[in-house]
Structure 1
Amino acid sequence: MKPYSYIAPLEVLSQHTGVAVEGIIKLDGNENPYGCSPKVKEALSTYPYYHIYPDSEQRELREALEGYVGVPDNRLLVGSGSDELIDLILRLFIEPGDKVINCVPTFGMYPFSTETCGGKVVNVPRDESFAVDVSGVKKAMDESAKLIFLASPNNPTGNTTPQRDVLKLLETGIVVVVDEAYYEFSGETMVPLVAEHDNLIVLRSFSKWAGIAGLRVGYGVFPEKIAQHLMKIRPPYNVNIAAQIAAIESLKDLGYLQKTIQAIIAERQRLFAKLAELDSFKPSPSKANFILCSVLNNQAEGIHQQLGRRGIFIRYFDTPLLKDYLRISVGKPEHTDALVAALKEIC
């Protein structure tokens, strides 16, 4: 199997380009450019017990999530990023050789974690609008198919999967994992369905909306029995104390974070309009904090490289389905302006 293709941190990008960290425009990781709540920084700077192990059951954080998500805390599980929860779910449900349905193009952690757990990835292409091919997914199922992963909004395409399609897949009886890492930018959720379906899991993250990607906090909403089994197999102390504090303080400062979310949504609209004006670009509508663009004349990789030399970083995937696409995270207005100016010079 291939190693996971991760994005580089600011310090490494600075070393590679010679551009100072402060001058780098980082639009490749779907991070919140406004950062975390000020309350997070204050709480982390004053916490006195870093030498003590954290609460392994994450009781205070799960109680706070109960109010935010609107489900009982016995249905909630927190992980070191939703990536850890993806891995735990796979460990629970699949044995070597079992199949996992992957609706491509989508988030690369699904096939990566499936293969590390000994599963077989079955790729079902999305249609031209990047919608899930429900009939194609059903045709790909057999007795060895155990899970379906659906990112909604989907990374990297930005579109959501409507509830009617999720319900059709739930009817098959297979476990459906809806990854809502970008929920706060779309407002569309399947969480209310979890209480009605014992084969539905919803995952979310603090990385995108709350601006704490570096601390790694994700959580899931599960049927109670699945939550109980996952609590048994997860590592103890899997969410460190700094991450727990940051997540709790984020949930106490929703007013501040909602302002940054709305700023990103507004800038998403402006970025889309600016990209649509470029002859070589065809942006796809997005309900996330990024925009996927089709790039004409096989220019995607070259544009990615030229922008990088200028200290502007966007995402190029170098895969057959996405070789003519670029994904651009929504930044601040000044980031959009610098990006568009550079693209006009390059293209």
Structure 2
Amino acid sequence: MERLVRSCYKQGGYVFAKKAGGPAHGAGNERIARLASNENPEGPSPAAVKAAQEAVLFANRYPDERVDVLVSALRAHYGDYTFVAGVGMDGVIETLMRTLVDPGETVVVSTPTFSFYGLAAQAQGAKVVPVPRRADFSVDTDALIRAGKDAKIVVLCTPNNPTGNATSAEDVRRVLDGINGLLFLDNAYVEFSGIDYLPLMKKYENLVIGRTFSKVHSLAGLRIGYAFVPAWLQPFYLRAGTPFTVNSVSAAAAAAALSDTDHASRYIRQVKTWRKRFAAELKYPVLPSDANFVMVDVAPQTGDEVVEKLAARGVLVRSCRSFTGLSDHYIRVSIGEDWENERFVREANSL
């Protein structure tokens, strides 16, 4: 019966980071440095925990299909924008593709980058066109505009996963001016960059900015993403979305997390400190980063080799081999707690 499976799923799929366990625990490491998945090492804000505990008491009821508690909190926090939500950034991406893309239409993606854009587009039967970045991983805006001029959606991640670098607001504006379709700007890591793309929302009706509570707000396990969208798009997005997709506990926790600015600020400071320390203390080249991770060039070793060696020493990092268009001598390292970062530097420098 496997013949019934669509050809795009016969192989491939999203490649997950190495989980705690396996070689790490097998080598006798009871305390594992988890630096593979770009998570916030600090637990959720107490305000988010309290809101989640209160919300779970009413889990016998379906959640609000419009997620008004979260949308109201987002508007109070950011101002007069139009919002939609999803099950993580992935859910927002998937619903956006479902809303806009017909089979055979083109989705253009700036690569190397997060693979789920292409997977979600393929699920709609789209033609996915990758546009490689320059040698320094900056966006080739002219090439992106040429390829994406008549595409239904152009996807640009900034700061980019896994390279870490951000694209300027001016370059994003150039892309918006040069295409006829919609630009999806993935801002999952924007809080660590200091760049503000939101003024573009007031000027362009073909821009969607996606964000997540998984990183700076420590809610990766609750899977809550959201997006700033032009007003014309919201009703169609809601119509295309899976019913009751965002659960009430996650929505309540996320709404409360927005109010705890101290919690977010602590991790942002931690990230900025350790990006500098990694660059200064590692024996390997560290690429400039605007995110809560860095990409490290471990040549002449491969990324997979270094990942396995570090896992045996109780440090989990991400190999970049699965990122299409990226040479196999890079690893991605999240910013964790001090002891995790220190162990990574010590163990990586000893390889």
User: Hey, what does 1:228 align to over in structure 2?
Assistant: 235
Q: How does 1:156-175 map to 2 (within 5 A)?
A: 156-171=162-177, 172-175=179-182
Secondary structure (helix, strand or coil) at the match of 2:152 reads: strand
CA distance in 1, matches of 2:65, 2:18: 30
2:348 paired residue number: 343
State the Cα distance separating 1:136 from its structure 2 match.
1.1
**d(CA) in 2 for partners of 1:7 and 1:193?**
33
Counterparts of residues 130-145 of structure 1 (less than 5 Å)? 130-141=137-148, 143=150, 145=151
Structure 1 CA distance for aligned equivalents of residues 174 and 265 of structure 2 = 33
Unaligned runs of 5+ in 2: 1-7
Q: In structure 2, which of residues 24, 34, 43 is the aligned counterpart of residue 26 of structure 1?
A: 34
Query: Which residue number in structure 1 is paired with residue 300 of structure 2?
Result: 297
Q: Whole-Å Cα distance in 2 between the matches of residues 328 and 16 of structure 1?
A: 16
- Confirm whether residue 4 of structure 1 aligns to residue 14 of structure 2: yes
- Report deviation, 1:198: 0.8
1:35 deviates by 2.1
Which amino acid in 1 is paired with 2:37?
A: G
Among residues 285, 288, 304, which one is paired with 1:285 in the alignment? Answer: 288
* Corresponding letter in the other structure for 2:307: H
Q: Does 1:153 find its partner at 2:162? A: no
CA contact (8 A) 1:61 1:247 kept: yes
Highest RCO, 1 vs 2 (Cα 8 Å, sep ≥ 6):
2
1:60 aligns with 2:63: no
Q: What does residue 312 of structure 1 align with?
A: 315
Question: Contact between 1:62 and 1:76, CA under 8 Å: does it hold in 2?
Answer: yes
Question: 2:37 and 2:251 mapped to 1: Cα distance?
Answer: 22
Distance 1:141 1:260, change over 3 A: closer
For 1:123, the equivalent position in structure 2 comes to 130
In structure 1, distance between residues paired with 2:349 and 2:251: 43
Which stretch shifts more, 16-25 or 32-41?
16-25
Q: Give the equivalent residue in structure 2 for 1:328.
A: 333
Is the aligned partner of 1:200 residue 2:202?
Answer: no
Q: Give the AA of the match of 2:60.
A: H
8 Å contact 1:14–1:21 — kept in the other structure?
no
The root-mean-square deviation of aligned C-alpha atoms, in Å, is 1.9
Mapping 1:46-57, distance limit 5 Å: 46-47=54-55, 48-57=57-66
**For the Cα contact (< 8 Å) 1:271–1:330, is it kept in 2?**
no
SS of 2:98's partner is: helix
Deviation at 1:106? 0.9
Aligned equivalent of 1:214, options 217, 221, 232 = 221
Whole-Å Cα distance in 1 between the matches of residues 106 and 18 of structure 2? 31
Alpha-carbon shift at residue 173 of structure 1 (Å): 2.2
CA distance 1:264–1:35, shift in 2 (3 Å)? farther
Partners of 2:41 and 2:181 lie apart in 1 by 38
Q: In 2, distance between residues paired with 1:19 and 1:27? A: 18
**In 1, are the aligned partners of 2:24 and 2:314 still within 8 Å (CA)?**
no
Paired residue secondary structure (1:83): helix
Match of 1:179 in 2: 186
Letter in 2 for 1:231: L
Percent identity over the alignment is: 32
The TM-score normalised by the length of structure 1 is 0.92
CA, structure 1 residues 21+100, in 2 after alignment: closer, same or farther (shift >3 Å)? Answer: farther
Task: Give deviations 1:177-232, integer Å, cap 9, x for gaps.
Answer: 11100111112132221121110110000001000101001100011011121011
For 1:14 and 1:324, the matched residues in 2 are separated by 23
Residue 269 of structure 2 corresponds to residue 259 of structure 1: no
Partner residue, 2:85: 78
The letter of the residue matching 1:300 is G
For 1:269 and 1:7, locate their aligned partners in 2 and report how far apart those are by CA, in whole Å.
Answer: 24
CA-to-partner distance for each residue in 1:256-282, whole Å, 9 max, x for gaps?
22122212222222122222xx1xx21
The residue identity in structure 1 corresponding to 2:40 is: N
Kept in 1: contact 2:319–2:332 (CA 8 A): yes
Of stretches 25-34 and 63-72 in structure 1, the one that deviates more from structure 2 is 63-72
SS at match of 2:75: helix
Specify whether residues 292 and 238 from structure 1 end up closer, same or farther in structure 2 by C-alpha distance, changes over 3 A only. Answer: same
Aligned residues between the structures: 337
Q: How many angstroms apart in 1 are the aligned matches of 2:65 and 2:13?
A: 30
1:22–1:236: structure 2 CA closer, same or farther, 3 Å change rule?
farther
State how far apart, in whole Å, the 1-side matches of 2:331 and 2:303 are. 6
